[in-house]
Structures are given as structure tokens and as C-alpha cells.
Amino acid sequence: MTNIFLDTQIYIGKNYSFQTGLLKALAEAALDGRITIYITDVVKKEVEANIYKAVHENVRQETKHVRTELKILRNLAEYNNIFAIKDKLNEIYADLLGQFHEFLSTGAVETVNIDVVKPSDVFERYFIGEAPFSARKKDEFPDAFSLLAIEQKSIELGEKFHVVSGDTDTLHFCEDHECLVHHESLDKLFDFFNQDDEYNHGLIVSTFQRHASKVVALLTGEFPIQTFDLLDEEGDVEHVTVHQIELLDDPLVLKYERNENRMVTAIISFDTSVDYTAEFSFLDYANGAWDSEDKRYVYVESVEGERHLEGEVVTALCELEFHENDPGDADIHLVSINNAETIMFQAFESDW
């Protein structure tokens, strides 16, 4: 049996998308009996706590800004739901928490209790700076308990565990334990499993690379119409112009099927380097004139500009379809750019 353990940051990085994408695919693979997913009670509580924080702190903060700075939208019926969100935070949290619990149930996720770990073992690692305590970071204690619990479960079963984590200390811990195989992302985990079929994996990768110019052309057309937002400012990003797109590294094969007619369909994740220019505008409240009596800005300057960015790394997903005897004739469709999330644009170069 193939055993999988995901650390907390993987759930956060996938934006808790339990009903779509790779987390759903993972649960379906477990439901089919191809893998077993494990979670520690610590990670479970961390995920639940982070969902709560995302809703009750992050969402509350953003909706508060909308209610105060954009209250003019109250005059438009289609935006009323925005102002009602603050009264539904508990409902939103319960819904998202339910999706997490459904994932645990659907994937028949097995919980490993950290009580099997001796606190003395964890503190010993902490005091000598042994992974996952590279710099005696106290916030690594939850990871330490989880990893030691997973290691013990692996020894108990006599089977290897695939540990998915982007944390360097977790990588070092896995390197020190032969029973643990490290993967830095879910994308790389799926690609690793698909490499079991070396022929099809190699054929898919080579076909994708063969049609790289097609992929770049698709991205060049689709990238400017993605949703962009300003980083650290409330404003607009418009008129995006792509100058160059370069495909980076080898693509990752997340999923593929081969039917009886020998047609191959694959979902591929790949990183790109994008050079582009965009225009931006925002109201400079930081340097505006505030009337403390009327509690309003009497003057706010509008800032407009343009910035050229080079080498921005953006991840994309595409679907590749071809006949295995004719890989030169392939259909390519973009599935998403930047995980279908808003692309954040920094108007000015950072000072650090």
C-alpha cells in the first residue's frame, strides 16, 4: 500500500480546495484503494485553526474595509451580499470545516495520534538542533511531533511513507529516515507516481516539450486577461502586455489516461517565466489630507504608472491530448493560470 502524509502547509497552499483539484484527486485515489492518506491529530487541529483564522480574521478584516471605504456600493442591490458576509462568518466557517471533514471521510483518512511520541525525544532534537529544528525554532514543535508519529507508524506497518511538505527541515528529517520519502508539493507527488509507467510518462513529457511553442502562444493570449490586483495598494491593474514567456524545467504529469484507441489525455503542471508590462492606478490615501472632524479625506491624489516585470514565475495547468502513434499532432487546452487565483502585481520595486 502507498501511504501519504501531508503537512499543514500543503492544505493551506491548496487554499483548502477539498472539492476540486489535487486534494480531491487524492481523496478519490484513496477511495479507490490505491493509496492510504494519513493525518496526525496535530495537523488536523492546525488545519481547522487555520480555516477559522482565514474566515474570522482575514475575511472579517477585508469585509470591514469594504464596509467603510466602499459603502457607496450599498446603493446597488447586486452588492448587498458583500455587506452581509460579516453576519455569516460562523456559517461560512462551518461550511468550509464541513468540506475538510468530508475530505477526511471520503478519503478514509487515518488519524495518527501523537501520544505515541515521547516528549523527551522531541526536546532532545530541539536542544541539539536536529531536524526538524534547524535553528531551534519553537514553531517546529508541532511538525516534530507529527513527523516522529508518522515515522513510528511507518516502522509499525513496515512500509514507507510519502511525506509531502515544502519545508526544508522536513526534507532533512526525511533524508535521515529511509522509511520516509519526501516530496515538496502535491504536484510533484502525482508526477512521481505517474513515473511508474516510465514509457507513457516520457512520451507525455516529450510531446509537451515538442509543442512548447503552442503552449507559449496560448499563454501569451490568455495571460493578459487573467485577474490582476495591486499588492499593498487598493487600485487597478490594466492593459497587461506580454513581452516574453519561457517554459521552465520539466513539466509535471499530474494525471493521464490512455483509452482503447490509444489516445492519451494528460493533465500537466508547468512553471513559466513571464516578462510583461502593466499599467496601474490607485488612490494615495497614505499622503492624503484627512479631516478629523468630518472623518473623511478632503484630498486624495490619484497615482498612475506603468511597470515592466521580468522573470515572474507563474504556474499553469494544461490538458494535452494526442494519439500515441502520432504525438506530432496534439491538442492543447489551458486549464488554469496561477491556479486560477488573482495575480498580484507590485507597482513599485521593494526597498529590500
Say if residue 132 is preceded by a cis peptide, omega within 30 of 0.
yes
Kindly report the pTM of this predicted structure: 0.71
Angle between helices 41-53 and 89-106 (to 10 degrees): 150
Q: Which of 5-14, 194-203, 278-287 reaches the highest mean pLDDT?
A: 5-14
Residue pLDDT, tens place only, 110-134: 999 888 786 766 655 655 556 566 6
Instruction: Place 107 in a pLDDT band, splitting at 50, 70 and 90.
Output: confident
Three-class DSSP labels, the chain: CEEEEECHHHHHHCCCCCCCHHHHHHHHHHHCCCEEEEEEHHHHHHHHHHHHHHHHHHHHHHHHHHHHHCHHHHHCHHHHHHHHHHHHHHHHHHHHHHHHHHHHHHCCCEEECHHHCCHHHHHHHHHHCCCCCCCCCHHHHHHHHHHHHHHHHHHHHCCCEEEECCCHHHHHHHHCCCCEEEECCHHHHHHHHHCCCHHHHHHHHHHHHHCHHHHHHHHHHHHHHCCEEECCCCEEEEEEEEEEEEEEEEEEEEEEEECCCCEEEEEEEEEEEEEEEEEEEEEEEEEEEEECCCCEEEEEEEEEEEEEEEEEEEEEEEEEEEECCEEEEEEEEEEEEHHHCCEEECCCCCCC
Does residue 151 register a pLDDT over 80? yes
Residue pLDDT, tens place only, 179-193: 999 999 999 998 988
Residue pLDDT, tens place only, 50-102: 999 888 887 766 666 665 666 666 666 666 666 667 778 888 899 999 999 99
CB count within 10 Å of CB 208 equals 24
Q: How far apart are CA 2 and CA 36, in angstroms?
A: 6
